Structure 1
Amino acid sequence: MSHPVRDVPITGAPIRLGQFLKLAGLAEDGAHAKDLIEAEEVTVNGETETRRGRQLTEGDVVAVGGEQGRVTTG
């Protein structure tokens, strides 16, 4: 059973996936974010994402394991 989606407010969209993982607390730091992405453990809107520089916009849902965060602005 997955956890509920948590809204993560950002200032100014878009935001890169690696940055969002850190901001949302899904990764400890940039190196951890890179490792998670390279291990194909990160999904964006239900699809595996392997690009750390993937641009996220409002409403995108990022998941690592059972943890999920939704990009929100404002």
Structure 2
Amino acid sequence: RRDPPPSSATAMHMTAIHVQTKQKLQDRSAHCAEKHRRRAGMLRVYGPIRPTLGVCATTDADRGGKRLISWRS
């Protein structure tokens, strides 16, 4: 036994859901890409400074030992 073809209202509803799902996926991927870019930018900024730990140690001591970034390995 065959089901009757979907009505136009049902088809439109399904299309709307499909479009919403697509938009959510695009938003998520764009958000992840932006996050990744931000992280890469931070690494680029702080990368060359990291070997000179003596400078960081004095500024951290002046600030009361509070660090902006904690380096975890």
Q: TM-score range by the shorter chain?
A: under 0.3
Tell me: higher relative CO, structure 1 or 2? Use CA pairs within 8 A at least 6 residues apart.
1
The structure where helix makes up a greater share of residues is 2
| TM-score normalised by structure 1 residue count | 0.21
